[in-house]
Each structure stands twice: as C-alpha cells, then as structure tokens.
Chain A
Amino acid sequence: DAMVIQNPRYQVTQFGKPVTLSCSQTLNHNVMYWYQQKSSQAPKLLFHYYDKDFNNEADTPDNFQSRRPNTSFCFLDIRSPGLGDAAMYLCATSKGRDYLAKNIQYFGAGTRLSVL
C-alpha cells in the first residue's frame, strides 16, 4: 500500500540536543509538509516543500529546519529543542500544484517528541 511513514513513532531528546525526525512516502507526491500539533490544539503548518522549493511559514522559529534530499524523503531538524517543542509532529504529502485548490493531504501517523 502506498503510504506516508514517519520514524520514529516516539522520540525522546534532551533540552538543547539536536534531533531529526524522518518522513518517507511511496505516493510519489510532489509536495511534503511538516505540522506541529500540541496537546488539544490544531495542527500547525511549519513549512512545506513543493519539489525542491522550500516554503517556510512566517511564524516558524529558526530552530526548525527541513531537508528534502529526494522526492521520497523529508526530514525535520530541531537544532536546539526546548521544553516548548514537545509535541506531535505530523508529516503529510499532496499530489502537486494542480491539486492544491482542493489540497487533499495524506498524513503519516506522526512522531511524538518529548524533551527532557
């Protein structure tokens, strides 16, 4: 089955220790997204890639970076995690620009990040 896979499902890191979350997709979609969801809050878009074109949200902290080495993989790097960065991180994909008006996104199961 084509899908969006996030690894690991649970990640524990120490305050200030860099951490990388991984997302891969077998859907061959052009667009990949990273969302942050804190408890009982709405998922919030951090950034997205359209192919190799990186689009950062204006309010995404500089502490968050992303890499997309190829179509299938996208990484979320948190350079110096703080306690406030503990959250669920969701990766999603969509087909491409022609579909953006309807923008059906396909989500992974998420990585729950804890910061000690």
Chain B
Amino acid sequence: DQQVKQNSPSLSVQEGRISILNCDYTNSMFDYFLWYKKYPAEGPTFLISISSIKDKNEDGRFTVFLNKSAKHLSLHIVPSQPGDSAVYFCAATPRSNTGKLIFGQGTTLQVKP
C-alpha cells in the first residue's frame, strides 16, 4: 500500500508558464511534507517543505499548498524555467519521528523553451 502517490509520471509546460505538480497521501499522521528535485546522475535535493499545520509555504518561484481535507498537496512553480526540468519527488515524514521519509514515485517535469 503506497501512502504517498504521484499519479502523473510526467508533465510538460512552456517556459514562463506555471507548473503544477500534484501529490496525494493516505495517512493523516504525517508531520511534514517535502518536495525533492532530482537531476539525471545526481541525488535528490531538498526544495521546499510544509508543516501539516500550515496550508501554504512560499519560497521564491516555488509554492507548496496543502489541502488536509483532501489529503492532497501541490507544488507550483511560477514562472517555469528550462533549468527546472527534473524529476520531482513528494515525500512525507510520519509523526512517529523515526527519521523516515516516505516518497512518491516522482513526476518528470519538462520545461520547453
């Protein structure tokens, strides 16, 4: 049973437009949600996070929205740039504070010039 799901394997947007990456979760006991970005031949790098008690967190071009009633979060990138082309992973930390991250399968974003 997959607790964190990214149902869109890929997304293609035009440079300058908005990219919206989606993530759904099934466990209400998650404490934090995080987005990681991964370029080819590199490890995932932390992008932005949101506490389960918040509904929005913004950092420059990146905004994460959390809808607890729908158990859904999304990452908005505005404006999208070709350098944003990467795989984006949604992840969650269980409230048990064991140090565990539970990842989604990832969404490959392609930003076209």
Chain A interfacial positions (CB closer than 8 Å to B): 4, 6, 31, 33, 40-45, 48, 50, 55, 57, 90, 92, 94, 97, 100-110
Query: Does B93 lie within 8 Å of A42, measured CB to CB?
Result: no
Known: A42-B4, A106-B43. 12 other contacts (CB 8 A): A40-B106, A42-B102, A48-B100, A90-B43, A100-B99, A101-B32, A102-B93, A103-B34, A103-B93, A103-B101, A104-B49, A105-B46
Query: Does A100 lie within 8 Å of B105, measured CB to CB?
Result: no
Query: Does B49 lie within 8 Å of A94, measured CB to CB?
Result: no
Query: Does B97 lie within 8 Å of A42, measured CB to CB?
Result: no
Question: Which residue from chain A places its CB closest to the CB of B92 in the assembled complex?
Answer: A103
Q: Is B31 an interface residue (CB 8 A)?
A: yes
Question: Which residue from chain A places its CB closest to the CB of B42 in the assembled complex?
Answer: A109
Report chain A residues within 8 Å CB of B106.
40, 42
Report chain B residues within 8 Å CB of A110.
43
Query: Does A43 lie within 8 Å of B89, measured CB to CB?
Result: yes
Distance (whole angstroms) from the CB of A104 to the closest CB of chain B = 5
Distance (whole angstroms) from the CB of B37 to the closest CB of chain A = 11
Query: Does A31 lie within 8 Å of B99, measured CB to CB?
Result: yes
